[in-house]
Amino acid sequence: MPQETNLPNKSVLTPFNIVAGIIILAGLIVTVLRFTKGLGTVTNLDDNNPWGLWIGFDLLCGVALAAGGYVTSAACYIFGFKRFHSAVRPAILTAFLGYALVVLALHYDVGRPWRLPYPIFVSPGTTSLLYEVGLCVFLYLTVLFIEYSPAALEWLGMKKLRNLIVRMTLVLTIFGVVLSTLHQSSLGALFMIAPSKLHPLWYSNYLPVYFFVSSIFAGLSMVIFEGTLAHRFLHDKMDATHLKESDGVVFGFSKAASFVMMGYLSIKLIGISVDNNWHLLFTGWGLWFLLELIGFVALPAFLYSLAVRERNLRWARWAAAWSVLGLVLNRLNISVIAFNWHLPSAQRYFPSWMEIVTSIFIVTLGVVIYRFITTRMPIFYDHPDYRHDI
């Protein structure tokens, strides 16, 4: 049983632990600097560039890459793809950790983090899309916590509560999809207030739709990508069902991702047509835009479809990593790279090393907590007491 392989009497000084320890130490030092000296010391942000890596990567990419939670649970419980069932728990766990870390990262970025509940409980600014995002992220984090909790409750042996929550699965899944649709799209809509700052190739009235659709294939890709890592490092935690279903999950998700990415490509082209921005494609920014769209959407989508046709697991996994990179590029383009594109280069933003360290620190925290949970709780295997109910 996986529990018995838990925590063997190995030395604590594994390479993973050493590297993670160094990163966490560096992160803690930057944390102290952030809360004693302020953003001015730690970041390269300024009055023209108020949002940098912590919003562009930690928030925008974090939320999009955590979309695997709602995508997988919707596929399994709403669309009825029961054969993806073993992928649900890892995806929900990643999503829950992803969102929790997004909120943690916001504590670094905003000026007075203890006021983060203000928009909901003190002074709601309902004309703001950021309010929409805040409310949905808050509610969805709660939903994800509840969706994740059966794994913890099985570990703790709290059967009654666990069974009660499992009975709510469908309602929670529907809530999750509604809330995800809203805030995934609203993150894109945030930038619609500034048409004068975002490059016209990226600015579109369809930004919310783009963000939502790209979150779907980002979520699918992330499930495959993360599954790849899990197979490599946590293989012994997986039970027979998980191992039997996992190839099916990879190919099923690859097929879906390829399909959604092709749809995304077509709506991007529609966006260019609607705004008649074709001529901009032949500028430097246009090349950069095409690199994102062809190099990091069309090509991985094609590789996905090849992988499915040839039943090639390696290609599917490469396509997943490639798509994840593409998503990151897209979010950084919109929030940082093509934002303020008209400013002279001396006034443009590039993250400081301390911002980068903080982002790596937060991702590392996620990996460490993920490993802590998956080595202890029934994530990759069914708990023996509940093997027969779904």
Using rule CB under 8 A, residue 88 touches other proteins: no
Q: Does 197 bind other proteins (CB under 8 A)?
A: yes
By the rule CB under 8 A, 142 interacts with other proteins:
yes
**Which of 3, 31, 131, 155 forms a contact with other proteins (CB under 8 A)?**
131
Q: Which is nearer to other proteins, 13 or 346 (CB)?
A: 346
Residues 162-191 that bind other proteins (CB under 8 A): 168, 170, 174-175, 177-178, 181-182, 185-186, 189-191
60 in contact with other proteins (CB under 8 A): no
CA 148/CA 150 separation, integer angstroms: 6
* Under 8 Å between Cβ of 103 and 141: yes
CA pseudo-torsion sign 42, 43, 44, 46: negative
DSSP state of 58: I
CB of 112 vs other proteins, minimal distance in Å? 5
Q: Which stretch binds other proteins (CB under 8 A): 4-12, 122-130, 244-252, 310-318?
A: 122-130
Closer residue to other proteins (CB): 40 or 284: 40
**Nearest by Cα to 202 from 151, 268, 124:** 268
Given the complex with other proteins, which of 36 and 345 has the nearer CB atom? Answer: 36
Gap between the Cα atoms of 333 and 202, Å rounded: 8
Angle at 151 between CA 149 and CA 154, to 5 degrees: 105
Q: Which is nearer to other proteins, 144 or 320 (CB)?
A: 144
Phi, psi values for residue 194, rounded to 5°: -125, 60
* Minimum distance of other proteins from residue 15's CB (angstroms): 35
Residue 12 Cβ vs other proteins, minimum distance, rounded to whole Å: 33
By the 8 A CB rule, do 109 and 55 touch? yes
* SS3 of residue 219 by DSSP: helix
Assign 234 to helix, strand or coil: coil
Distance of closest approach, residue 165 Cβ to other proteins, in angstroms: 8
Please report how close the Cβ of residue 37 comes to other proteins at its closest, in angstroms: 6
205 binds other proteins (CB under 8 A): yes
Q: Which of 129, 257, 329, 338 binds other proteins (CB under 8 A)?
A: 129
Q: Shortest gap between Cβ of 156 and other proteins (angstroms)? A: 12
Q: Which two three-digit tokens encode residue 203?
A: 């600015």
* CA pair distance 293, 299, nearest whole angstrom: 9
Q: 301: which residues sit within 8 A by CB, 6+ positions away?
A: 257, 258, 261, 262, 265, 319, 323
The residue among 28, 171, 167 whose CA lies nearest residue 108 is 28
Segment interacting with other proteins, rule: CB under 8 A, options 28-36, 270-278, 297-305, 323-331: 28-36
Among 26, 78, 290, 373, the residue binding other proteins under the rule CB under 8 A is: 78
Q: Is 383 in the site for other proteins (CB under 8 A)?
A: no
C-beta neighbour count of 98 within 10 angstroms: 25
Among the listed residues 1, 8, 47, 279, the single contact to other proteins using CB under 8 A: 47
Report 324-343 residues binding other proteins (CB under 8 A).
none
User: Which ranges constitute the DSSP H helices of the chain?
Assistant: 15-37, 39-42, 53, 62-65, 68-73, 85-109, 118-121, 129-156, 159-167, 169-189, 207-233, 240-274, 284-290, 299-310, 313-332, 353-374
What's the closest the beta carbon of residue 249 comes to other proteins, in angstroms?
18
Shortest reach from residue 202's CB to other proteins, in Å = 14
Per CB under 8 A, residues contacting other proteins are 34-41, 43, 45-48, 50-51, 74, 77-80, 109-113, 115-116, 118-119, 122-132, 134-135, 139, 142, 146, 149, 161, 168, 170, 174-175, 177-178, 181-182, 185-186, 189-197, 205, 207-208
